């Protein structure tokens, strides 16, 4: 079994209100009950503390990812990340409301995944940031304990300075870019084939920008008899009863 992307959706707000939301695309595959949803919530200004915990369709508990928060400081880039298991099929509406001025640019990214471990979904995560402009925006190294984790890397700009485009590390597949006012960002994935340190993943903005970044390694679900199709389980049961 391997982790597969059912959909990736980006929702943005240009600062016109305190709330940002994303409604998951049902293409290429509709969200099913039991799918893992990874939420990356980011902005480019004010404070991390002003970013409220997101809510989602079906009122699931969103679990904050350990080491999945990046804080470049007041008036710089911020990221919060979460996971939840979908308890309602179909489009997921994920939203977060900020306190304070809340008139900066912000975004929510929703990853709907199948084949992920839903009991302990995150193998490991790491965060990084720079409050000064950098030629490379590095998603930090992390060290998964499993050999087949699914790596998600995300970086976004801060301080109201944005990049017009990004170059993605050669080992990764770019899944989205964010461009809204003074906020830009990029997300990419990689199927890992070994445990241990992944090394830094360097994203290349077309202009130097400050940034925040997270690397999240999603644990793959283990194969078991309960994952067999129903007809095959029935056949196996009939065979065993005849022994």
117-130, pLDDT tens digit by residue? Answer: 999 999 999 999 99
Q: Which two tokens stand for residue 49?
A: 């503390």
pTM of the entire predicted model: 0.92
- Phi-psi domain of 64 (left: phi exceeds 0; alpha: psi -120 through 50; beta: other): beta
Print the domain residue range for 116. 4-235
Residue 151 lies in a domain: yes
Distance (Å, whole) CA 24 – CA 34: 15
pLDDT digits (tens, 9 = 90+) for 130-182: 999 999 999 999 999 999 999 999 999 999 999 999 999 999 999 999 999 99
Query: For position 73, what pLDDT does the model report?
Result: 98
- Contact predicate 156/203, CB 8 Å: no
Q: For residue 237, is pLDDT > 50?
A: no
DSSP state of 171: T
For residue 119, CA distances in Å to 34, 36, 64, 243 come to: 11, 10, 14, 34
Residue 104 lies in a domain: yes
Strand intervals (E) in 45-200: 63-64, 70-71, 78-85, 93-97, 106-114, 122-134, 137-139, 150-157, 166-167, 173-180, 183-191
Residue 241 lies in a domain: no
Q: Which of 65-79, 193-207, 212-226 has the lowest mean pLDDT?
A: 212-226
Q: If pLDDT is split at 50, 70 and 90, which confidence band does 1 have?
A: confident
Distance (Å, whole) CA 118 – CA 87: 12
pLDDT digits (tens, 9 = 90+) for 199-218: 999 999 999 999 999 999 99
Domains identified in the chain, total number: 1
Residue 243 lies in a domain: no
Contacts with 228 (C-beta within 8 Å, 6 or more apart), sequence order: 236
Residue 136 lies in a domain: yes
Between the two ends of the chain, the Cα-to-Cα distance in Å is 30
**What DSSP line would sit under 24-42, residue for residue?**
----SS---TT-EEEEEEE
Query: For position 224, what pLDDT does the model report?
Result: 64
Residue 242 lies in a domain: no
> Phi and psi at residue 142, in whole multiples of 5°?
-135, 165
- Contact predicate 213/127, CB 8 Å: yes
pLDDT digits (tens, 9 = 90+) for 87-112: 999 999 999 999 999 999 999 999 99
Distance (Å, whole) CA 21 – CA 56: 10
Residue 240 lies in a domain: no
């Amino acid at each position: 079994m391997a982790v597969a992307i059912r959909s990736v959706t980006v929702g943005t707000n240009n600062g016109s209100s305190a709330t940002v939301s994303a409604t998951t695309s049902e293409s290429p595959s509709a969200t099913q009950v039991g799918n893992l949803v990874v939420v990356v919530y980011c902005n480019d200004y004010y404070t991390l503390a002003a970013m409220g915990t997101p809510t989602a369709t079906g009122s699931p508990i969103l679990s904050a990812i350990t080491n999945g928060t990046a804080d470049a400081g007041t008036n710089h880039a911020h990221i919060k990340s979460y996971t939840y298991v979908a308890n309602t099929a179909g489009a997921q509406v994920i939203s977060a409301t900020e306190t304070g001025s809340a008139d900066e640019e912000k975004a929510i990214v929703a990853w709907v995944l199948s084949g992920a471990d839903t009991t302990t979904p995150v193998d490991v995560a790491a965060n990084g940031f720079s409050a000064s402009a950098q030629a490379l925006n590095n998603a930090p190294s992390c060290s998964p304990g499993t050999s087949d984790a699914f790596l998600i890397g995300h970086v976004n700009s801060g301080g109201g300075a944005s990049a017009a485009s990004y170059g993605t590390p050669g080992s990764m597949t770019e899944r989205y870019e964010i461009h809204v006012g003074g906020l830009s960002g990029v997300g990419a994935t990689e199927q890992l084939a070994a445990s241990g340190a992944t090394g830094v993943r360097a994203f290349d903005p077309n202009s130097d920008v400050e940034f925040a970044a997270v690397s999240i390694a999603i644990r793959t679900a283990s194969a078991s008899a309960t994952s067999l199709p129903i007809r095959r389980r029935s056949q196996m049961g009939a065979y065993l009863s005849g022994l």
